[in-house]
Structure 1
Amino acid sequence: MFDAEDAVELRALQARAYGRSGALSDAEVTRLRELEAARTSERESRTTEKPRPQMPEQVVAPVPEPSVATADTVPATAASAAARFAGADTAAPSGHGAGADADSRGAPAATTLRRHWRLALAIIVAFAVIGVAVGWLLFSDRGAAPIPLSAEQQGWQSTIVASGDFDSGSLRAMAEEEGVVISFATKNDGADVCLVLASADATAPACTTREQATIQGVNATLTKAVDASQSYDIQAQMFLTPDGRPAVIARSYITSPQSTSMFASQAEAEAAAALAEKTGLDSRSIMVAGYDDEVPIWTGIDMSTQRYCLVYDGSMPDPPMVCDDSLMLADADRTLVLDVAGTDDGDITRYEYRFSYGQQYLTVTKGLGADDAAGE
């Protein structure tokens, strides 16, 4: 009686016998023959009792020539087993001989090729796409996507392109600082890289070789007028990363020809001018030493006494302020300490500003009690 367990064992032996690297021992070959004979006998008895259509048996296995331990151990039913692997029921009617089995041996291979030609074509197309992608990654100038530009800024870019100073199609806007467009471009067929700053009135390009851009970067500065007495200095620096991507850092300051002070924005410059009127500080010397959250801490020189002063905020009529007791240049290293009480909790915040010829820095200490501040 050929049962379900025999069927499982038969399929396992067939998979090993007819697989690409399959091999059976003599005992396993003998068992395979017994199981196939038992299954054939079972089918013949079922056909005799009640003929019915046979459903194809699906076996997940390739269809190569059988590979067993010895040449004389190939089962006589190899042709029918190979046909079953291809998905067809090939129980041969009585009267079909060895010639029919031999003819059916080549059919599964042709059927397999017809079924899998689409898969082979898909693999070829996939390799082609991968090749194009790899080529683009290796040889293109890669970087961040271009930033959106206004219609006016696009006009500036068009003028730069029309100049012919850069490789066609290489100009790419990377950043914007105070309305100035900062772009990357190449020259001499990509041998040189450029940093280009552009505004409505001026263009400031700077170029160097790729090697120098990777090591030292490229720097460019463009001056943009704010009013008759002030201007924006927009500074940009670009490096090339090891994989060829341009990276841009930009900063801007408001400056005046009559002053050495620099301000981050027009609002900061206007606050400095108002502070000069309230405190009598020289407007040419006022600068921001640092911020406590959003509150600026200012320094400047008193015009009447020439003392160096530290001022908190400056937005109120009489801002907290402390000045050095000696002249600014009396000592090489001086420190100003300003204590400001909080309006809510009464805790004191200390602003300690150290200044010298070499460097200046501000230290902010929060949460001091009144006794701590008085003891200092």
Structure 2
Amino acid sequence: MLDADESVELRALQARAYGRAGALNEAEAARLRELEAGRARGAERPAPTRPESHATTPPQLETSTSIVAEGGGPAASGEVGATGAAHGESALRRHWPVVVISAAFAVVGLVLGWLIFADRGPAPMHLTAQQQEWQSAIVASGDFDRGSVRAMTQEEGVVIWFATKNEGADVCLVLGHEDATAPACTTREQATIQGVNATLAKPVSSAQTYDIQAQMFLTQSGEPAVITRSFITSSQSTSMFASEAEAEAATSLAERTGLDRRTILVVGYDDEVPIWTGIDTSTQRYCLVYDGSMPDPPMVCDDSLMLADADRTLVLDVVDDGETTRYEYQFGYGQQYLTVTRGWESDDAAGE
């Protein structure tokens, strides 16, 4: 027969063993079997006033009898005393897979969270031996926080580094090539809102330089995002070219057509074929030229004095394999743009 304390202990163990999320260790399961056996022995002795009744089933135990055992249907309340040990072991066996699966999901969740949200930063950029020397010189200057200098990308051989100053309060964009560096720094707040810009001029020849421009913003996570662009400029011209080959083509075009080299520039492309504009040296007329790589390229000119008009258009028709392509370039003080129309057909196309 169980006393009051043992009855309370029995009900607690039964609730943990047979409840929806119950689980017992070996010692607790053994104690449950011991208490249920003691209660069963007490129930076998008939009570003087209620000989036909078994011991009263605790409310918690009645709830537990709705649990479906591994081998069949619901266990009846009258069988709990005789099969308590089996039910305890069954409950333990039943809940161990749930515990293991829950733990596995927790581990997977932690791993996925680390992969998605961990702040690992961009992969380090591979530097040549010479570029590593440039970086070592930047680090040795002492202008930036220790360990903060890291290479992000390069443009036409110019390396772009990210660094910080003042213990991380300021962020910097550093462009470097050989002995030339171009640093630019600002606060983290300004870099997030407006970004930071830096430009470095890399010599191409005695008269031309590669202008490398970089702009850096900070993402919401604080990581740098960089945009780069480059073009060739000349001290003798205001024109800009995308590459050395394009700059050389402009020089050849000036020799073939008589256009002023200082005024020649690319206004658009038809696939990979450049469309040029420039001012004729002898007549001062404004001209539109197709390709320019041939000795006598297709070209049309207008009076450059009419540039003051708001809307002026140069129209050039080029026939290739019987198909006409029209190039219309609008210029003046307003918006300037090139329109390419393939398969152009018009009665006055030849006259224009």
Structure 2-normalised TM-score? 0.72
Q: Can you give the 5+ residue segments of structure 1 that lack an aligned partner in the other structure? A: 1-14, 23-65, 87-107
**For the residues of structure 2 that align with 1:68 and 1:347, how far apart are their CA atoms?**
92
Q: How does 1:257-268 map to 2 (within 5 A)?
A: 257-268=235-246
Which residue, out of 251, 262, 271, partners 2:249?
Answer: 271
Report what 1:67 is aligned to: 61
Which residue, out of 351, 360, 363, partners 2:327?
Answer: 351
Q: How does 1:1-376 map to 2 (within 5 A)?
A: 19-21=18-20, 67-69=61-63, 73=77, 75-82=80-87, 84-85=89-90, 126=107, 133=114, 137=118, 140=119, 143-325=121-303, 327=305, 329=307, 331-342=309-320, 344=321, 346-369=322-345, 371=347, 373-374=349-350
The structure-2 alpha-carbon separation of the partners of 1:317 and 1:358, relative to structure 1 and needing over 3 Å to count, comes to same
**For the residues of structure 2 that align with 1:135 and 1:185, how far apart are their CA atoms?**
25
Secondary structure in 2 matching 1:341: strand
**For the residues of structure 2 that align with 1:83 and 1:314, how far apart are their CA atoms?**
92
**For the residues of structure 2 that align with 1:17 and 1:208, how far apart are their CA atoms?**
61
- Structure 2 residue identity aligned to 1:203: T
Q: Describe the superposition over 1:321-372 as per-residue Cα deviations: whole angstroms up to 9, x where unpaired.
A: 0000453545343211000001x2x111111111112442111111113636
Runs of 4+ in structure 1 over 6 Å off: 127-132
Deviates more, 1:152-161 or 1:214-223: 152-161
Question: What is the aligned-residue RMSD (CA, Å)?
Answer: 3.7
- Structure 2 residue identity aligned to 1:364: V
The structure-2 alpha-carbon separation of the partners of 1:69 and 1:234, relative to structure 1 and needing over 3 Å to count, comes to closer
The structure-2 alpha-carbon separation of the partners of 1:236 and 1:320, relative to structure 1 and needing over 3 Å to count, comes to same
Q: CA deviation at 1:132?
A: 10
**For the residues of structure 2 that align with 1:281 and 1:17, how far apart are their CA atoms?**
94
**For the residues of structure 1 that align with 2:64 and 2:245, how far apart are their CA atoms?**
94
Identity of aligned residues (%): 66
The structure-2 alpha-carbon separation of the partners of 1:286 and 1:21, relative to structure 1 and needing over 3 Å to count, comes to closer
Q: Describe the superposition over 1:267-320 as per-residue Cα deviations: whole angstroms up to 9, x where unpaired.
A: 000000000000000000000011000000000000001111000000000000
Number of residue pairs matched by the alignment: 288
The structure-2 alpha-carbon separation of the partners of 1:160 and 1:321, relative to structure 1 and needing over 3 Å to count, comes to same
The structure-2 alpha-carbon separation of the partners of 1:316 and 1:69, relative to structure 1 and needing over 3 Å to count, comes to closer
The structure-2 alpha-carbon separation of the partners of 1:127 and 1:191, relative to structure 1 and needing over 3 Å to count, comes to farther
Q: Describe the superposition over 1:224-271 as per-residue Cα deviations: whole angstroms up to 9, x where unpaired.
A: 111111111100001112222211111111111111011110000000
Secondary structure in 2 matching 1:288: strand
**For the residues of structure 1 that align with 2:135 and 2:214, how far apart are their CA atoms?**
17
Secondary structure in 2 matching 1:238: strand
The structure-2 alpha-carbon separation of the partners of 1:73 and 1:156, relative to structure 1 and needing over 3 Å to count, comes to same
Q: Does the CA contact (< 8 Å) of 1:230 and 1:257 recur in 2?
A: yes
Q: Describe the superposition over 1:152-200 as per-residue Cα deviations: whole angstroms up to 9, x where unpaired.
A: 1111111111222222222221111110001111122221111110100
Secondary structure in 2 matching 1:260: strand
Q: CA deviation at 1:201?
A: 2.2
**For the residues of structure 2 that align with 1:131 and 1:353, how far apart are their CA atoms?**
54
Q: Can you give the 5+ residue segments of structure 2 that lack an aligned partner in the other structure? A: 1-13, 22-59, 66-75
- Structure 2 residue identity aligned to 1:336: L
Secondary structure in 2 matching 1:194: strand
**For the residues of structure 1 that align with 2:20 and 2:351, how far apart are their CA atoms?**
90
- Structure 1 residue identity aligned to 2:336: Q
**For the residues of structure 1 that align with 2:109 and 2:275, how far apart are their CA atoms?**
62
The structure-2 alpha-carbon separation of the partners of 1:254 and 1:69, relative to structure 1 and needing over 3 Å to count, comes to closer
The structure-2 alpha-carbon separation of the partners of 1:70 and 1:167, relative to structure 1 and needing over 3 Å to count, comes to closer
Q: Does the CA contact (< 8 Å) of 2:162 and 2:174 recur in 1?
A: yes
